[in-house]
């Protein structure tokens, strides 16, 4: 593996800790080698030292990206012994000549682009120019050795830029060499969505417009923009989260059953979901920006007061959308998605509300309305699945109480320390593209949201419009309530009372 951006935060906090975990579980090949490439001067020893210091900072810190109580010295030494370092300018051809000289003959190579997205095209152009992406094939089309390139999000900043980036990359690489990585998909609970749907005959027959009223997808964060003001000013919540993280969750919920669990079949079914989504209009979108407030008991400043943020910034830190999927399974079922920073609680969940049962049989009882049934897939931080339904209260009177059947991963499976990249890196090594976005999926995602981005760019927003530590702006409540009695599920619900 060759990591461009070896001294960057992504490499230190996520990529190398994931490799350490793979070493700890003996999931790395015996002859695995790691080459770090960066503009900063350094040696293999100094690079190893910085990475070890980062791992050491994780020990005993519950807020760290990797929750560990000690470093496995044997696992670290197995990884560190295979590390080397190259200093060089990513824009200069001589760097790629030296990379080629450092690679073993006929080596399988992963080029990991842990760098700013403006350099993606440049690095891939140079890799191709130096013939480092060439794969050797035998007479049967099998690779005697392979070359793969990992591209971190963002995959463009608009529909046009995504198309340009894809076209540029595909001039050098084949689609099966490109791994557009989204760490969100490394979560076990995200990957289990398809297994839950397709392995249980109980749910798939009712997974359609006949039984489902609507779907809510929430990705709420308690953190603000922290030290990423410059990045966020040019990006905003919609670009940062929706065409990648949130749309991927949506595609897993909405896709048709694949013919098999191979990458080609699954990605094709996901792509069908993107293609069936009509383009959004500005009326189907709400944006927000946080004001000062209190988050988890601590004061938080307004977005416009964050470092590197303009005083009159129109950048959104919250977005809510009403989406549709115009196919036979989902026509008429709205999908409501929201994501925001400095909200009341950190949570990622997919909530499916089923249509209410007829109330006629209960008219002469204390039951005036029948509450809806909810199926909730909790992605983070408390991974699990719950189903809410009605039961009769004990006693002579016909009355109902809402109860839950609840499954928690932590109650059934041991929790292994990870940063979310371990599964993804392993899949790259074995060439499994199931969890990685294809070029057409990227472009379809941008197609859906582009009219909203264009409209917002031409308008001045009335910001800020929600307090830090709240559930978002009131305009989002109006968006979901526009068609009836629908409301958002509370981001931070009160403890459930026993009936």
pLDDT digits (tens, 9 = 90+) for 182-238: 887 877 778 788 889 999 999 999 999 999 999 999 999 999 998 889 999 999 999
Is the domain of 198 the same as that of 157? no
pTM of the full structure? 0.92
Is the domain of 340 the same as that of 310? yes
Which is nearest to 435 in space by CA: 159, 214, 231, 180?
A: 180
Q: How many domains does the chain have?
A: 2
Is the domain of 300 the same as that of 249? yes
Is the domain of 126 the same as that of 226? no
| Max Cα-Cα span within the chain | 85
Q: How many CB atoms lie within 10 A of CB 23?
A: 20
Whether 347 contacts 380, CB under 8 Å: yes
Q: Which helix (H) or strand (E) holds 336?
A: strand 335-340
Annotated catalytic residue 70: no
From residue 218, how far is each of 113, 204, 273, 310, 338 by CA, in Å? 29, 22, 19, 28, 5
Whether 322 contacts 488, CB under 8 Å: no
Among 245, 342, 368, 426, the active-site one is 245
Judged by DSSP in three states, 193 sits in helix
User: Has residue 487 been placed in a domain?
Assistant: no
Residue span of the structural domain in which 277 resides: 187-418+438-481
User: Has residue 23 been placed in a domain?
Assistant: yes
Which pair of tokens denotes residue 224? 């603000």
- CATH number assigned to the domain comprising residue 282: 3.30.360.10
pLDDT digits (tens, 9 = 90+) for 140-172: 556 679 999 999 988 999 999 999 999 999 999
Which is nearest to 217 in space by CA: 189, 256, 249?
A: 249
Is the domain of 9 the same as that of 101? yes
User: Has residue 356 been placed in a domain?
Assistant: yes
pLDDT band at 418 (very low <50, low <70, confident <90, very high): confident
Top pLDDT among 181 and 499 is at 181
- CATH number assigned to the domain comprising residue 124: 3.40.50.720
Q: Distance between CA 427 and CA 314 in Å, rounded?
A: 39
User: Has residue 115 been placed in a domain?
Assistant: yes
Last residue of a domain, one of 136, 155, 182: 182
Is the domain of 177 the same as that of 191? no
From residue 401, how far is each of 13, 256, 366 by CA, in Å? 46, 34, 11
Is the domain of 161 the same as that of 225? no
Provide, rounded to the nearest whole percent, the portion of the chain with pLDDT above 90.
Answer: 76
Please report which residue ranges of 401-438 form alpha helices under DSSP H: 409-412, 422-430
User: Has residue 372 been placed in a domain?
Assistant: yes
Residues 127-147 have a mean pLDDT of: 81
Q: Which helix (H) or strand (E) holds 238?
A: helix 236-241
Last residue of a domain, one of 182, 199, 227: 182
User: Is beta strand 335-340 parallel, antiparallel or unpaired with respect to 318-323?
Assistant: antiparallel
Q: Which residues pair with 219 in a beta bridge?
A: 339, 348
Is the domain of 266 the same as that of 170? no
Q: Which helix (H) or strand (E) holds 6?
A: none
Please report the sign of the dihedral spanned by the C-alpha atoms of residue 491, residue 336, residue 370, residue 408.
negative
Which pair of tokens denotes residue 396? 């002579």
Is the domain of 174 the same as that of 213? no
Q: To which residue do tokens 């204390």 refer?
A: 366
pLDDT digits (tens, 9 = 90+) for 245-302: 899 999 999 999 999 888 999 999 999 999 999 999 999 999 999 999 999 999 999 9
User: Has residue 148 been placed in a domain?
Assistant: yes
User: Has residue 431 been placed in a domain?
Assistant: no
User: Has residue 430 been placed in a domain?
Assistant: no
Is the domain of 99 the same as that of 177? yes
Residue 173: DSSP 8-state: S
Which is nearest to 54 in space by CA: 7, 119, 116, 105?
A: 7
Which is nearest to 177 in space by CA: 137, 136, 142, 135?
A: 135
């Amino acid at each position: 593996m060759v990591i461009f951006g070896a001294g960057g935060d992504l490499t230190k906090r996520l990529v190398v800790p994931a490799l350490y975990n793979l070493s700890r579980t003996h999931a790395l090949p015996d002859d695995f080698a790691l080459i770090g490439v960066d503009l900063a001067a350094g040696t293999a020893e100094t690079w190893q030292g910085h990475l070890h210091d980062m791992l050491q900072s994780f020990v005993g810190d519950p807020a760290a990206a990797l929750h560990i109580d000690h470093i496995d010295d044997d696992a670290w030494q197995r990884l560190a012994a295979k590390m080397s370092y190259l200093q060089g300018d990513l824009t200069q051809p001589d760097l790629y000549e030296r990379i080629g000289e450092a690679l073993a003959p006929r080596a399988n190579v992963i080029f990991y682009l842990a760098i700013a997205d403006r350099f993606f095209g440049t690095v891939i152009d140079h890799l191709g120019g130096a013939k480092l992406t060439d794969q050797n094939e035998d007479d049967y089309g099998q690779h005697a050795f392979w070359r793969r390139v990992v591209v971190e999000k963002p995959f463009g900043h608009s529909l046009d830029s995504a198309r340009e980036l894809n076209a540029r990359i595909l001039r050098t690489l084949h689609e099966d060499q490109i791994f557009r990585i989204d760490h969100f998909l490394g979560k076990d609970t995200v990957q289990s969505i398809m297994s839950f749907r397709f392995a249980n005959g109980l749910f798939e027959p009712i997974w359609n417009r006949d039984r489902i009223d609507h779907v809510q997808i929430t990705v709420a964060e308690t953190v603000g923009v922290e030290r990423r003001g410059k990045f966020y000013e040019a990006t905003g919540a919609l670009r940062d989260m929706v065409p990648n993280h949130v749309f991927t969750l949506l595609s897993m919920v909405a896709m048709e059953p694949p013919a098999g669990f191979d990458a080609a079949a699954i990605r094709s079914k996901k792509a069908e979901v993107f293609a069936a989504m009509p383009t959004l209009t500005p009326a189907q979108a709400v944006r927000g920006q946080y004001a000062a407030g209190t988050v988890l008991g601590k004061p938080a400043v307004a977005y416009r007061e964050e470092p590197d943020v303009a005083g009159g910034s129109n950048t959104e830190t919250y977005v809510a959308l009403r989406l549709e999927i115009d196919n036979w399974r989902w026509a008429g079922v709205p999908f409501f998605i929201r994501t925001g920073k400095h909200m009341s609680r950190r949570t990622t969940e997919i909530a499916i509300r089923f249509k209410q049962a007829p109330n006629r049989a209960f008219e002469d009882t204390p039951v005036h309305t029948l509450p809806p049934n909810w199926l909730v897939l909790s992605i983070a931080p408390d991974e699990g699945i719950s189903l809410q339904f009605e039961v009769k209260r004990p006693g002579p009177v016909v009355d109902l109480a809402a109860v839950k059947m609840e499954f928690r991963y932590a109650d059934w499976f041991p929790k292994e320390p990870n940063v979310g990249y371990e599964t993804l890196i392993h899949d790259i090594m074995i060439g499994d593209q199931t969890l990685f976005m294809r070029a057409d999926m990227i472009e379809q995602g941008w197609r859906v949201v582009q009219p909203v981005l264009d409209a917002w760019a031409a308008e001045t927003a009335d910001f800020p419009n929600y307090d830090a530590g709240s559930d978002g702006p009131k305009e989002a409540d109006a968006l979901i309530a526009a068609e009836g009695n629908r409301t958002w599920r509370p981001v931070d619900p009160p403890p459930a009372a026993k009936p």
